[in-house]
Structure 1
Amino acid sequence: MRSDLAELLREARTAVPPPRFDIEDAVAAGRRRRMRRRAGWAGTTGAATLALGLAATVLAPHLGRSPDPVAGSASPRTPQFAFPADPLIGNIQAADLEGTLRMSGTVLVAPTFQAALVTRPDLPGVRIEDDGTRHEYGIAAAVVVVYRPGAFDAAAFTGGEPVSVDGRPGRYLTSYQIGTGRPGGPAVAWQYAEYAWAVIAATDQRPAPSLEQLLGLAVALRSGEPRVPSLAFRLGTVPAGFTVQAAGTADPGLTVSLPGESFVSLVNPGGQEIALTLHPSWWGEHHGTAGEASCPQQGLCYTTSPDGKWQVEADGRQEAGDDELLAMLRSITFADPANPYTWFPLTTAVPSS
């Protein structure tokens, strides 16, 4: 096991730049985007809800660390889940829990983890446009984060209630803070394999998933068919030195699933990041001209599809210059975001710099 782990971590290090994009970065990206929007969720109030994210301190992975198992327990020899060798391929298998909760396949993948969203089919989010138009979309009831072996420190769960996930040891916390301005919610962390952990954390309290539901979702976690992420747009150019660090089909804050959404994070060896997100135009606050690119504020630029229905946001984290962002946006080729069969595999969606 030790030699396999060492080889896996060597591959993760050599295939991508030094890991910068982790759960903490995903949360920060989603929080920044939400704070810039006028969007509202049905049954929620104010910016505190829009700033919903994951608990970065607990969920931030530490590549190369192999945390000890929970005291007095040992994970089974046969793993419940196995990662692909490629650090940017996802393979969480979708599952339904008695028709009440639905776990997606992988919606976000990075070198040290992959994530899925749990939604309630009977409880969509609703956005009301200024003209009275209603748009429904899925709000995550919980987030499933599966970490590569050695990438998660489970110390925060040590004091939790011992639980068993199909014979695998874990811990349950009743109050696990997953965002600012919100009370903590229930969460389960368990060993799906030796030195390997997964976490299911509630992100919606209407009501929060029960312990029984969380454990049911945990038991349902399985490796599915490995899939290369696809994007609903293709870049013609990227700045020198930038390579893909994370990609997926969910809001980078891992709290909402929008139709047609695509996300990719690019980093360079110096740690500079550019995040690009495609979303429906009705979701964004910036209303640009169809087919044109612009920067309403420094380090934050947009382009709109020729039909005006979709936008790509380029967020340079106030580090990339507007000229770099605009060059990327003007090089974009749109697929049909409403038809995933037209999307571009990640391997061709982002050219080598």
Structure 2
Amino acid sequence: MRLSELLDEVRAEAPPPRYDVDAVVAAGRRLRWRRRVTAVAAVVLAVTAVVTVPQLTTDRRPSRHTVPAVRVSPSTTPAATLGYAFTGYTAGRFRVEEPGEAIAGWNLNPITDVKDPDRCRLNCYLGVRGIPVTDPRFPRERSRTATEPINGRPAYWLVDRDMGFLVLLWQYADDAWAFVSRPNYRTESDAPMTRDDMRRIAEAFRPGSTRTVPTPFRPSYLPAGWRLTGSRGMTGWSGATLRNAATIAGMPADRTITVIKPPRAADLLELVLAPLGKNKTPTAEPICVRQKDGGYCRMRLPDRDAVLDVRGGTALSLADLRRIIEGLTVADPRKPGTWTPITAAFPAAAQFTVVK
């Protein structure tokens, strides 16, 4: 992997200036690790179990460019735990951040050292699996060792060889697992958190009641056969990812914590809402461009101070992408309180379904 690629990866989440080049490279690798974990759904389509994503209400009127499209009724299926979301919490000096994403598979949530925010930056995570799974495994794990039960349930220490992370994996309910991870150091005092800290975070975890994750997108049109596999967002920025049902059905229903190569961009449909940067000058009319691995349509939302992108793989035509972007209703990216649960924002036909 080239240094330039790693620098590109961490440009948006760069470490503080006091870090050297080695720290930047390490941060880039950790960021890639995090994205690989959350990018892939290790489940198969079949029996309904809908991804939970909040639908947004918006005061934005549809653009005059919106094409006529058949409006689909929001899903009324009860929320499932596929995109598991819970309330953040504090354990000692560490804070597990409120998750702002729903992913088909494992959801990663950053852990912050309240007293020294830089210490755990891009280093420490809580991973939670909402879909039932028995005896989950990292694909390249080593030295799995049983440890004292956590809240009366099995727990294990292991090292993920893919990134050299120390992992505390435990069962928090029947066929429900979570893990706390941080870089593995030879000298424990160099680590951003101790093993005791990791245990305290695990012991303090309580699933509580599920909640849906919000999205600013409300599509009036989506091509047939595409399923929502992920949604994440924060104030000012949001994204939603869909995959073709055929590519999802080809994935194994397994127990693997998927630190693996993410799907190709050519196999994805992505909706991205980002702040309008100084160097971005898209027009209020959609601009659509064909590329080797697909294409994209982009437009400026003047009343939102934002740029809206719809990116699709080779299976989607520019006409499809244009119809999607022109049919999107978008809430204010700066006001997450106006967003909608994904179960209501996306049509029932686009909801992700799984079989255990």
Show the 5 A alignment for 1:288-307: 288-289=281-282, 291-295=284-288, 298=291, 299-307=295-303
Identify the residue that residue 60 of structure 2 maps to in structure 1.
none
Cα 1:62–1:246 shift into 2, 3 Å: closer
Q: 2:268 aligns with which of 263, 267, 273?
A: 273
Report what 2:94 is aligned to. Answer: 101
Cα RMSD for the two superposed structures: 4.0
Distance (Å, rounded) in 2 between the aligned partners of 1:302 and 1:247: 19
Equivalent of residue 200 in structure 2, options 197, 201, 216: 216
Deviations for 1:155-191, whole angstroms, at most 9, x for unmatched residues? 6556234323233322223x53565xxxx23221112
Q: Give the secondary-structure state (helix, strand or coil) at the position aligned to 1:92.
A: coil
Higher relative contact order (CA 8 A, sep 6+): 2
Counterpart of 1:90 in 2: which secondary structure? coil
Instruction: Give 1:145-224 correspondences, 5 Å limit.
Output: 145-147=127-129, 148-150=131-133, 153-154=136-137, 157=141, 159-164=143-148, 165-173=150-158, 175-177=159-161, 184-202=164-182, 208-224=192-208
Question: What aligned pairs does 1:28-177 form with structure 2 within 5 A after superposition?
Answer: 35=8, 39=12, 41-43=14-16, 45=21, 49-50=27-28, 52-54=31-33, 62-63=42-43, 86-88=80-82, 90-98=84-92, 100-121=93-114, 139-147=121-129, 148-150=131-133, 153-154=136-137, 157=141, 159-164=143-148, 165-173=150-158, 175-177=159-161
Query: How many residues matched?
Result: 275
Contiguous gaps of at least 5 residues in structure 1: 1-31, 65-83, 126-137, 250-257
Partner of residue 239, structure 2: 263
Instruction: Give SS of 1:223's match.
Output: coil
CA change 1:224–1:34 in 2 (3 A) is farther
Q: Distance in 1 between matches of 2:37 and 2:239?
A: 23
Q: Look up the equivalent residue of 1:172 and give its one-letter code.
A: W
Question: Residues 58 and 96 from structure 1, CA distance in 2 versus in 1: closer, same or farther, beyond 3 angstroms?
Answer: closer
Residues 220 and 230 from structure 1, CA distance in 2 versus in 1: closer, same or farther, beyond 3 angstroms?
same
After TM superposition, give the deviation of residue 41 of structure 1 in Å. 0.7
In structure 2, the CA distance between the partners of 1:60 and 1:342, relative to structure 1 (3 Å rule), is closer
Larger Rg: 2
1:101 is displaced (CA, Å) by 2.3
Alpha-carbon distance in structure 2 between the residues aligned to 1:93 and 1:339:
19
1:228 is aligned, of 200, 212, 215, to 212
In the TM superposition, residue 274 of structure 1 has moved relative to its aligned partner by 1.0
In the alignment, the residues of structure 1 paired with residue 310 and residue 89 of structure 2 have an alpha-carbon distance, to the nearest angstrom, of 33
Change (3 A) 1:121 1:260: farther
How far apart are residue 342 of structure 1 and its match?
Answer: 0.9
How many Å separate the matches in 2 of 1:311 and 1:152? Answer: 43
- Offset of residue 36 of structure 1: 7.6
Instruction: State the shift of 1:227 in Å.
Output: 1.7
- What is the SS of the residue equivalent to 1:225? coil
Distance 1:286 1:326, change over 3 A: farther
TM-score, normalising length from structure 1? 0.62
Q: SS at the partner of 1:247?
A: strand
Contact 2:82 2:105 in 1 (8 A): no
Q: Write out per-residue CA displacement over residues 5-48 of structure 1, whole angstroms, 9 at most, x where no aligned residue.
A: xxxxxxxxxxxxxxxxxxxxxxxxxxx99948853613354566
Q: Secondary structure at the match of 1:302?
A: strand
- Which residue does the alignment assign to 2:52? none
1:143–1:203 CA contact under 8 A, matched in 2: no
Unaligned runs of 5+ residues in structure 2 are 45-77, 248-266, 350-356
Which residues in structure 2 correspond to 1:311-326 (within 5 Å)? 311-326=307-322
Contact 2:40 2:104 in 1 (8 A): no
* TM-score normalised by L of structure 2: 0.62
Per-residue CA deviation, residues 51-71 of structure 1 (Å, 9 max, x unaligned), is 52237599977548xxxxxxx
Give distance in 2, aligned partners of 1:214 and 1:59: 24
Q: Identity over aligned residues, as a percent?
A: 22
* CA 1:319–1:241: 2 relative to 1, 3 Å: closer
Structure 1 pair 168/93, CA: closer, same or farther in 2 (3 Å)?
Answer: same
The 8 Å contact of residues 141 and 204 in structure 1, kept in 2 or not, is answered as: no
